[in-house]
Amino acid sequence: MTTKEVQAKKGLDPKEHLFDRAGPLELSANDFQMNLAAEIIQREKITGQQPVIKKNEDVAKRVRTAISDSGGTMPENLPLDSPIKEARKRLKAQKKITSTST
Protein backbone atom coordinates (compact mmCIF):
# COMPACT_ATOMS: atom_id res chain seq x y z
CA MET A 1 0.00 0.00 0.00
CA THR A 2 1.12 3.53 -0.61
CA THR A 3 1.44 5.97 2.27
CA LYS A 4 -1.69 7.79 1.09
CA GLU A 5 -3.62 4.51 1.01
CA VAL A 6 -2.50 3.63 4.54
CA GLN A 7 -3.42 7.11 5.76
CA ALA A 8 -6.89 6.78 4.23
CA LYS A 9 -7.37 3.26 5.65
CA LYS A 10 -6.47 4.48 9.12
CA GLY A 11 -8.59 7.63 8.80
CA LEU A 12 -5.56 9.88 9.16
CA ASP A 13 -5.73 13.46 7.95
CA PRO A 14 -3.62 13.77 4.76
CA LYS A 15 -1.76 16.69 6.38
CA GLU A 16 -0.56 14.50 9.27
CA HIS A 17 2.59 12.46 8.89
CA LEU A 18 1.93 8.73 9.28
CA PHE A 19 5.00 8.13 11.46
CA ASP A 20 3.80 10.82 13.90
CA ARG A 21 0.88 8.51 14.74
CA ALA A 22 2.56 5.10 14.41
CA GLY A 23 2.92 2.94 17.48
CA PRO A 24 6.07 1.11 18.56
CA LEU A 25 5.40 -2.06 16.57
CA GLU A 26 4.71 -0.20 13.33
CA LEU A 27 7.77 2.00 13.82
CA SER A 28 9.90 -1.06 14.56
CA ALA A 29 8.72 -2.87 11.43
CA ASN A 30 9.47 0.15 9.26
CA ASP A 31 12.84 0.75 10.92
CA PHE A 32 13.82 -2.90 10.49
CA GLN A 33 12.80 -2.89 6.81
CA MET A 34 14.68 0.33 6.04
CA ASN A 35 17.85 -0.75 7.86
CA LEU A 36 17.81 -4.21 6.30
CA ALA A 37 17.33 -2.76 2.82
CA ALA A 38 20.14 -0.25 3.38
CA GLU A 39 22.50 -3.00 4.53
CA ILE A 40 21.69 -5.21 1.54
CA ILE A 41 22.00 -2.33 -0.92
CA GLN A 42 25.41 -1.43 0.51
CA ARG A 43 26.65 -5.03 0.71
CA GLU A 44 25.54 -5.84 -2.84
CA LYS A 45 26.87 -2.47 -4.06
CA ILE A 46 23.58 -1.66 -5.78
CA THR A 47 23.63 1.70 -7.52
CA GLY A 48 21.13 3.73 -9.47
CA GLN A 49 17.77 4.96 -8.33
CA GLN A 50 15.59 2.28 -9.92
CA PRO A 51 17.67 -0.73 -8.76
CA VAL A 52 17.77 0.69 -5.22
CA ILE A 53 14.00 1.25 -5.23
CA LYS A 54 13.44 -2.29 -6.54
CA LYS A 55 15.64 -3.83 -3.83
CA ASN A 56 13.90 -1.78 -1.15
CA GLU A 57 10.51 -3.01 -2.41
CA ASP A 58 11.75 -6.60 -2.44
CA VAL A 59 12.95 -6.33 1.16
CA ALA A 60 9.66 -4.71 2.20
CA LYS A 61 7.72 -7.61 0.67
CA ARG A 62 9.87 -10.13 2.56
CA VAL A 63 9.38 -8.28 5.85
CA ARG A 64 5.61 -8.19 5.27
CA THR A 65 5.67 -11.92 4.51
CA ALA A 66 7.53 -12.55 7.76
CA ILE A 67 4.96 -10.53 9.71
CA SER A 68 2.09 -12.38 8.05
CA ASP A 69 3.67 -15.82 8.41
CA SER A 70 4.28 -15.14 12.10
CA GLY A 71 0.63 -14.28 12.65
CA GLY A 72 1.41 -10.63 13.31
CA THR A 73 -0.83 -7.71 12.51
CA MET A 74 0.06 -5.97 9.29
CA PRO A 75 1.25 -2.38 9.91
CA GLU A 76 -1.67 -0.82 8.02
CA ASN A 77 -4.06 -2.67 10.36
CA LEU A 78 -2.45 -1.46 13.57
CA PRO A 79 -4.30 1.33 15.41
CA LEU A 80 -3.09 4.90 15.31
CA ASP A 81 -1.15 6.03 18.35
CA SER A 82 -1.55 9.40 20.06
CA PRO A 83 -0.18 12.27 18.01
CA ILE A 84 3.50 12.91 18.68
CA LYS A 85 2.62 16.52 19.54
CA GLU A 86 0.60 15.28 22.52
CA ALA A 87 3.52 13.16 23.71
CA ARG A 88 5.83 16.16 23.45
CA LYS A 89 3.40 18.25 25.52
CA ARG A 90 3.22 15.52 28.19
CA LEU A 91 7.03 15.29 28.34
CA LYS A 92 7.38 19.05 28.59
CA ALA A 93 4.80 19.18 31.39
CA GLN A 94 6.55 16.31 33.19
CA LYS A 95 9.89 18.12 32.97
CA LYS A 96 8.33 21.24 34.47
CA ILE A 97 6.86 19.21 37.35
CA THR A 98 10.17 17.46 37.92
CA SER A 99 12.24 20.63 37.80
CA THR A 100 9.96 22.51 40.23
CA SER A 101 9.90 19.66 42.73
CA THR A 102 13.69 19.44 43.08
Domain containing 44: what range? 3-100
Are the C-beta atoms of residues 90 and 23 closer than 8 Å to each other? no
What is the C-alpha separation between 17 and 34, in angstroms, rounded? 17
**Is the predicted pLDDT of residue 88 greater than 70, yes or no?**
yes
In which band, very low, low, confident or very high, does the pLDDT at 2 lie, cut at 50, 70 and 90? confident
Count: domains in the chain: 1
pLDDT in tens, 19-67: 899 999 999 999 999 999 999 999 999 999 999 999 999 999 999 999 9
Q: How far is 95 from 73, CA to CA, in rounded Å?
A: 35
Between 78 and 97, residue with greater pLDDT: 78
CA dihedral 75, 2, 42, 72 (to 10 degrees): 20
